[in-house]
Amino acid sequence: MHKIAYLAVLAQVHGAIISGLCNDKNTSTPLVKGDQTYVCININDKYRAVFTPVVDDFVQLRVYNSYKDSRIENSSFASYLTLSSMTSRSVYKLYTDQTGKAFPSFTAVITVVDGLIQGISWDDGCYLCNSTSCASNIYSAPKVPLVNSAFGSGNTCFHNQTACSSTENSCDLGIFVGWTGTDYNGNYLSSAGMRVSQFQQYSVTSYVDDLKSKLSSLLPRF
Ligand SMILES: *[C@@H]1O[C@H](CO)[C@@H](O)[C@H](O)[C@H]1NC(C)=O
Ligand SMILES: *[C@@H]1O[C@H](CO)[C@@H](O)[C@H](O)[C@H]1NC(C)=O
Ligand SMILES: *[C@@H]1O[C@H](CO)[C@@H](O)[C@H](O)[C@H]1NC(C)=O
Ligand SMILES: *[C@@H]1O[C@H](CO)[C@@H](O)[C@H](O)[C@H]1NC(C)=O
């Protein structure tokens, strides 16, 4: 079995979100390697979890108990997510559908040029599962699949409802995030390269957001 050793588990505390950007200010700030920044997981364009990782650290953003939260995992609707930072936002991924099937693990790459985010892409593949539990998962909008696009197949591993319910927290959402490009000072960002080793034993800082207290209203778009 592959195991991931968590270097640190940090509970992040955040205040209310007052702007549309994934940021505490209503402005986009150039990224500097080693500085703290903002990355948001947005669910159904309605809720967001805010994380404050360090630029160019390869991290995992985890939404604790997300599979148990009826605002997210609900038999009457599917949940789609995006990842955003500053003024950029990824395309959508399905997290759970009405049957309780879940795609719990994703990898995102934030591309930066001179400190400005150019885009946030999904980098997926079914390395940890076989074809029976692998499906295309990439959407331009909730319920609108992106097919034959430059975004690729979006292949992602899933678990069914039985598997998700039988092991506590096994289908909680976790998103690996890495950066690539150059920061505001022209320094290279290279942590996205770590994703190729993500399924081997290594250490990664994990940021955990506890939904009960911190899943806040998403205003208005990012
Ligand atoms: C944020 O900035 C935009 C334009 O830059 C402005 O339209 C909006 O009202 C601002 N929002 C807040 C909460 O200050
Ligand atoms: C689904 O969400 C609705 C609110 O949107 C809520 O009233 C309902 O109880 C939820 N259903 C389940 C099964 O959790
Ligand atoms: C896929 O995985 C399932 C369950 O883990 C297993 O029963 C099945 O034999 C596997 N199929 C292939 C083609 O490896
Ligand atoms: C759910 O997934 C488990 C483990 O992958 C598998 O053994 C089981 O057959 C699946 N159940 C259904 C209803 O597909």
Provide the whole-model pTM: 0.83
| Least distant ligand from the CA of 159 | 4
Average pLDDT over residues 29-44: 92
Q: Which domain holds residue 39?
A: 2-197
Any domain includes 209: no
Any domain includes 43: yes
| Alpha carbon 3 to its chain's center | 20
Any domain includes 87: yes
pLDDT at 122 over 70: yes
pLDDT at 78 over 90: yes
pLDDT at 172 over 60: yes
Which residue has a Cα nearest atom 1 of ligand 4?
Answer: 160
Any domain includes 212: no
Which residue has a Cα nearest atom 6 of ligand 1?
Answer: 26
Any domain includes 202: no
Any domain includes 220: no
For residue 31, the number of C-alpha atoms closer than 13 Å in the C-beta half-sphere is: 33
Q: How confident is the model at residue 205 (pLDDT cuts 50, 70, 90)?
A: confident
Question: 3-state SS of the chain?
Answer: CCCCEEEEEEECCCCCCCCCCECCCCCCCCCCCCCECCEEEEECCCEEEEECCECCCCEEEEEECHHHCCCCCECCECEEEEEEEECEECCEEEEECCCCCECCEEEEEEEEECCEEEEEEECCCCCCCCHHHEEECCEEECCEECCCCCCCCCEEECECHHHHHHCCCCCCEEEEEEEEEECCCCCEECHHHHHHHCCCCCEEEEEEEEHHHHCEECCCCC
Q: How confident is the model at residue 166 (pLDDT cuts 50, 70, 90)?
A: very high
Pocket test for ligand 1, best of 18, 19, 27 (most atoms within 8 A of CB): 19
Closest ligand 4 atom, CA of 133?
5
> Count of domains in the chain?
1
Closest ligand 2 atom, CA of 70?
14
Any domain includes 217: no
